[in-house]
Structure 1
Amino acid sequence: MPQTPSYLEEVIIPIFKSLAEIIRKKGVKIPTTQTYRPIKGYYRIKIGLTTVGGFSVPGNGDYAIYFTPMKNANPIGDRQLVSDTEELLQLINNQLKAKQQLIT
């Protein structure tokens, strides 16, 4: 029987690597499969020390990437489908703008 692919290893971590390349000055820490786990249903995204949102844990065969904005590590809005890195950057920037920490 084929092994189930790792969503964390094959989707989430590569997204973090892309973010880290694009916004180097903001300190995106690339997680590892050994230490990074979802908390309350989200793979949290931190820019520097600020939790800006999280990726929803996939369920029921839906492996699309959804971003949920967060404040104080708690969801503050509806999850939004993310189709590419530019869209994700805009969603993150919206969160940082609300906190006055724009990506430059």
Structure 2
Amino acid sequence: MDIKELTERYRDRFDAHYLQDDNGTGRKGRKRKKEVETPNFLKDVIRPILDTLPDLLPEYGFTKTTDDYAMYGEYYRIKAGIVLVGGFSIDEDFNLYFTPLFHGKACGKSHKIDSIGQLVEIIHEQFERREVKMKG
């Protein structure tokens, strides 16, 4: 999965949705029905990424997200079982950043994430740094 591609696709959908021409009206002055579905960063970018982690990192106890998953504070939190590994944040251009978190607070430098391989490597480093025991 190419994270950069996901964020670029989201940015295109965002622009198409919010920059579409709303001046056209139908008969009797009714507005035309909007053709572009409202983009949702959580649904379109965050959840697909998080839902790949159980397959890519089975040894750490990641599970797929549920419909209850939401942003918490400033971050989309990444947890493996009960271990909070880090969180995603985004900038004004919809670039994705991973920040290591400990007890909900940033405990390291943010990294711009462009690929799933890069994310997996950073998560491995976090587990090694914290000496978290693997499932098994």
Task: Give TM-score scaled by structure 2 length.
Answer: 0.66
Superposed structure 1 runs of 4+ greater than 2 Å apart: 1-4, 101-104
Query: Structure 1 pair 30/64, CA: closer, same or farther in 2 (3 Å)?
Result: same
* Higher helix proportion (structure 1 or 2): 2
The residue that corresponds to 2:83 in the other structure is 50
> Where do 5+ consecutive residues of structure 1 fail to align?
none
Question: How far, CA to CA, are the matches of 1:96 and 1:83 in structure 2?
Answer: 20
SS in 2 for 1:31: coil
Residue 46 of structure 2 corresponds to residue 15 of structure 1? no
Give the C-alpha shift of residue 87 in structure 1. Answer: 0.6
Q: CA RMSD in A?
A: 1.9
Residue 112 of structure 2 corresponds to residue 87 of structure 1? no
Question: How far, CA to CA, are the matches of 2:63 and 2:109 in structure 1?
Answer: 25
> Where do 5+ consecutive residues of structure 2 fail to align?
1-33
Residue 55 of structure 2 corresponds to residue 24 of structure 1? no
Residue 72 of structure 2 corresponds to residue 72 of structure 1? no
SS in 2 for 1:8: helix
Q: Quote the sequence identity (%).
A: 31
Which is greater in Rg? 2
